Structure 1
């Protein structure tokens, strides 16, 4: 019997659709008002620019690694090869360890956001909201329980819904608002000082959350057609496209609603549509936003399910996660496990807690350590080793490290300690695993 393997069936269009649907989840709709409140002025647009710049420079790190190591699991492979030997084993294990916690948190955050925004259509009790968010996770796992080519087609369909929603919001501002006003007044009352830098830091924690997912294609590296070209292309198309859409959406909303109203509304985009077109169209817009949130959970769950699978196949994680479905050829054990944990998280936590926890938990290993790993890998193997090379190396990688360190600090002491605690527990688990393995 031939060995069951992942199949390269995802095209550039589908890879871009998967990335963009992951990026434009419920995030930009629920954090828009939070960012405006933190910045407390028309210059809140700068926080969205900061998120785009960080995504672009970090995307270069991911592109150089993803194009060279187009395998399932993304960062697991990058960290293992970047650090090499025992350090590579440790860093890749820590990444999988944190993924088993933070991946379900990401999935749960989108499901909780879905439930939260649904309240605009019909108010839900606390328990009804939890039931809805849990149901979203179950439906996502059900849809993903199929062959990858079918998933690629579903992703494109969901992506179309994302683009239609964003186009409607932006078009509404162009037709009914004074679209250039927010840009003309972006610097009104602005003083660049320590307080502004602190505000940018806190606000960027929220905007960066809304950009996360530009690297999702790397987790699916073993299923991408022509990965050396399509992995970098899909990332930069996704980041550039989403940055433009986010800025235009924020400008559009600010061209119709006063800043105070933006800061105070939990359903700011629905309120925006209600202002320009009435309550019926606001309800339709809310349904489209829920479509976008659902698409994001779908895409994120797809990518994350490949990480424990890749580690298990490599012998660095529990063997059961290495199983592929006998006929549909996808890592079904990994998918079901992450879905089950995400279901529990969706019932336990609030959205605000989850957003900060996601970033604090991921930054040190998945972003900072990965960028350092790239620098070490280039030093060991030379630039010619890589299938794609970032321009102006190593400047983008160093800038990404500094950016991420600033964002980590901005998550606050409680979240920083939480992230370090997860790493500490991961170290304990790693050394226990190594000792058990050595005694076998």
Structure 2
């Protein structure tokens, strides 16, 4: 049998929506509210941080709908940046995506799965060293993370139907589970705790200090707090990477982006209201290892709640990683066909999926998982991620000028107001991080800019004739 030359469009609107929602809901919503509360010190600001993030995510998703309708093919944001700006801009994004953004996220979510598995099976504790080489210690949690990444990569090499079955099933389960947790939390609301949490609800101050922020310091604290909520809400655009495998992509990608991000935004806000309904602010801020959902579940159901939430997060992170692994490889496939990635990554296997790209992504994710440095890098890359979002959305304005007559089955909702608002909010976020939390900015920027010399090296190599054909890395 000859190898397929194109993807098979087999994903429905439901499947595409589950890719959006499933890739967004990982472990973040169960953890990052602790750090947000420590930085803001109040119930009102905790919810407002999530609301601002949700607004930005929805605005970006609605804007991406126009781009997905114009370019309904594999590659998503990489393709949009190339068409709107330049191949260099697209490559720098793809480079950042491959080296850190997607692969480190896969590692982080894999280790989160392992950490919560340890609640049910203590043998997988991150405190138990499985391999000690002196310069490198690998815990059992990290080994389990590696196993999960390898298993999910293998499943996705078997074809898009295998990946979508895992994704759709697990995402429906975790949406239902998170909704059930919210309903139980609101039903078991503790009036005394709720009222105490809403006293001085808009007094912005760090939990560890009784001193309030100055105006500039307050803006910086909000930006720093949003690092966690943005990470928890990221990867919503993964569905655009698999456009070639979605039925009626011009319609269904835009619809799935809206439906998926709306579902998750509402769930995230309600989950935080649930935390405030059963836990005092200081307990949210001081949750052991930031596991706010575990503390909330324990407050609702006793010790049995710990096991319940652990199982729920295991399902959530497993499904999230499947979506990340499934979608990410399509970016490398498109880059390879542009001559900007390993040539073999641009080929499909018998199941019509880019298996070499999947395994290459798996290798880098496993390296990050073993290194244990993925968490720091994800904080540092938030600046770059939002920067690429701004560039992509600004590309809508550029493309309307460059290609006014191009077919646009769907036009960005609220254009030009909402896209401009997003760009202004994103720019404010990035500038505040530069001044207030520089350690969250320069490392990610260095990683991204390192892609520029790599791009010119690859282009130079392509131009060199080698036996009547050009070479690729």
Q: Normalising by the residue count of structure 2, what TM-score does the alignment of the two structures yield? A: 0.86
1:255 to 2:255 alignment: no
| Residue 146 (structure 1) shift | 1.5
Q: 172, 175, 185: which is aligned to 2:198?
A: 185
- Counterpart CA distance in 2 for 1:428 and 1:22 is 31
- Once residues 181 and 244 of structure 1 are traced to their aligned partners in structure 2, the CA distance between those partners, rounded to angstroms, is 20
* Contact 2:64–2:412, Cα closer than 8 Å, also in 1: no
Deviation at 1:25, TM superposition (A): 0.5
Contact 2:381 2:443 in 1 (8 A): no
Counterpart for residue 293 of structure 2: 269
Counterpart CA distance in 2 for 1:427 and 1:306 is 22
- Which structure 2 segments of 5+ residues have no match? 130-138, 205-212, 466-473
3-state SS in 1 of match to 2:450: helix
Deviation at 1:293, TM superposition (A): 0.9
Query: What's the counterpart of residue 226 of structure 1?
Result: 248
Q: CA deviation at 1:240?
A: 1.1
Within 2, Cα distance between the matches of 1:34 and 1:295?
24
- 1:40 CA drift (Å): 1.2
Aligned residue pairs: how many?
434
Query: Cα distance 1:89–1:246, how it changes in 2: closer, same or farther (>3 A)?
Result: same
Does the C-alpha gap of structure 1 residues 138 and 358 become closer, same or farther in structure 2, counting only changes over 3 Å? farther
Would you say 1:286 and 2:298 are equivalent positions? no
Aligned-pair distance for 1:3?
Answer: 5.0
Q: For residues 310-329 of structure 1, give each alpha carbon's deviation from its aligned partner in whole angstroms, at most 9, with x where no partner exists.
A: 1112333331110111x211
**Is residue 46 of structure 2 the alignment partner of residue 24 of structure 1?**
no
Check conservation: 2:110, 2:148, Cα contact below 8 A: yes
> Would you say the 8 A contact 2:336–2:346 is kept in 1?
yes
- Indicate how the Cα distance of structure 1 residues 400 and 186 shifts in structure 2: closer, same or farther if over 3 A, else same: farther
Name 1:209's counterpart in structure 2.
231
Question: What per-residue deviation string (whole Å, max 9, x for no partner) do you get for residues 342-386 of structure 1?
Answer: 01101112464133133134333x312212222211111127632
Aligned match of 1:64:
66
Alignment of 1:51-130 (within 5 A): 51-83=53-85, 88-102=86-100, 103-121=102-120, 122=122, 123-125=125-127, 127-130=139-142
Q: Any conservation in 2 of the 1:182–1:251 contact (CA below 8 Å)? A: no
Instruction: Name the structure 2 match of 1:14.
Output: 15
Deviation at 1:76, TM superposition (A): 1.6
Moved more, 355-364 or 182-191: 182-191
Does residue 360 of structure 1 match 2:383?
yes
Task: Say if 1:270 and 1:383 are closer, same or farther in 2 by CA, change over 3 A.
Answer: farther
Alignment pair present for 1:144 and 2:165:
no
User: 1:317 aligns to what?
Assistant: 341
Change (3 A) 1:257 1:82: same
More helix by share: 1
Give 3-state SS (helix, strand or coil) of 2:271's partner: helix
Q: Distance in 2 between matches of 1:183 and 1:144?
A: 48
Q: 1:183 to 1:320 in 2, by over 3 A?
A: farther
Match of 2:183 in 1: 171
Contact 1:94 1:427 in 2 (8 A): yes
CA-based RMSD of the aligned residues comes to 2.2
Which residue does 2:38 correspond to in 1? 37
Structure 1 unaligned blocks of 5 or more:
none
Show CA shifts across 1:16-38 (max 9, x none). Answer: 11111110101111212111111
Q: 1:6 to 1:187 in 2, by over 3 A?
A: farther
Tell me by how many angstroms 1:276 deviates.
1.5
- Residues 178 and 375 from structure 1, CA distance in 2 versus in 1: closer, same or farther, beyond 3 angstroms? same
Residue number in structure 1 paired with 2:457: 432
Query: For 1:272 and 1:174, how far apart are their aligned partners in 2?
Result: 11
Matched, 1:406 2:405: no
The alignment's TM-score, normalised by the length of structure 1, stands at 0.93
